[in-house]
């Protein structure tokens, strides 16, 4: 299972994926879904976009990467078959931005090594990218986009590892809701179908 920790005041190097069995694409090793922001809706069309609800009952859009049991269905011959169009979460990994404006790293990735030499760190380079630099604002914009949609108007369509995933099935002109609804066709694939 993944273990994201704060990178602050530490530096890390990243070696290579060559000797790894694509752990980060494997549902049985903890990869299931990732919260997304509005920009992520635009950038991929290969996965279902669903919603989860936190303790405060506001909708969080997520991308369902695996069925929680198998490898991502875009992994072919242990390589990502949609590498150029893989979701931003996959581009960011093993790093992850956060609303607290800090960067986190998954220390279970076997290619992550903590250094004493700051010059070797790949974390700062990633933090310069717009996605990381502006993540807090992007996250808040996403929250406001779905603020008007209430939990009772969503339909629970999947439960995996005790996590409930919801769809918004009513008609609406919101372009992100439309993209979400279009993405539900991916749930008809055999890969996800046995979960329904």
> How far apart (Å, rounded) are the C-alpha atoms in residues 175 and 46?
17
Q: Which of residues 91-120 bind ligand SF4 (CB under 6 A)?
A: 93-94, 109-111
- Please tell me whether residue 17 binds ligand SF4 under the rule CB under 6 A: yes
Q: Which is nearer to ligand SF4, 154 or 192 (CB)?
A: 192
Nearer to ligand SF4, 24 or 138 (CB): 24
- Of 67, 81, 54, whose CA–CA distance to 28 is shortest? 67
Among candidate residues 65, 7, 9, the one with its CA nearest the CA of residue 36: 65
The backbone torsions φ and ψ at residue 16, rounded to the nearest 5 degrees and listed phi first, read -160, 155
Q: Virtual CA dihedral for 190, 41, 111, 101, nearest 10 degrees?
A: -140
80 binds ligand SF4 (CB under 6 A): yes
Give which of 103, 91, 39 is closest to 65, Cα–Cα: 91
Report the residue number, 115 or 155, with the smaller CB distance to ligand SF4.
115
> In this chain, which stretch among 48-56, 86-94, 141-149, 182-190 interacts with ligand SF4, using CB under 6 A?
86-94
- Binding residue for ligand SF4, selected from 37, 59, 72, 187, defined by CB under 6 A: 72
- Comparing CB distances to ligand SF4, the nearer of 90 and 158 is 90
User: For binding to ligand SF4 (CB under 6 A), which residues are involved?
Assistant: 17, 20, 22-25, 65, 72, 74-75, 80, 82, 86-87, 90, 93-94, 109-111
């Amino acid at each position: 299972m993944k273990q994201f920790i704060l990178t602050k005041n530490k530096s890390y190097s990243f070696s290579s994926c060559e000797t790894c069995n694509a752990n980060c694409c494997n549902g049985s090793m903890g990869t299931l879904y990732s919260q997304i922001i509005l920009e992520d809706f635009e950038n991929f069309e290969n996965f279902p976009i669903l919603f989860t609800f936190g303790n405060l009952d506001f909708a969080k859009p997520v991308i369902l990467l695996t069925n929680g049991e198998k490898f991502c269905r875009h992994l072919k011959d242990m390589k990502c078959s949609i590498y150029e169009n893989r979701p931003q979460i996959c581009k960011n990994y093993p790093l992850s931005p956060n609303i607290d404006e800090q960067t986190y790293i998954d220390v279970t990735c076997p290619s992550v090594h903590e250094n004493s030499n700051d010059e070797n760190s790949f974390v700062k380079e990633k933090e310069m990218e717009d996605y990381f630099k502006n993540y807090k604002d992007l996250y808040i914009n996403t929250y406001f986009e779905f603020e008007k949609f209430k939990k009772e108007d969503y339909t629970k369509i999947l439960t995996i590892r005790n996590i409930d995933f919801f769809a918004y099935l009513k008609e609406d002109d919101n372009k992100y809701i439309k993209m979400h609804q279009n993405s539900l066709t991916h749930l008809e694939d055999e890969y996800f179908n046995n979960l329904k």
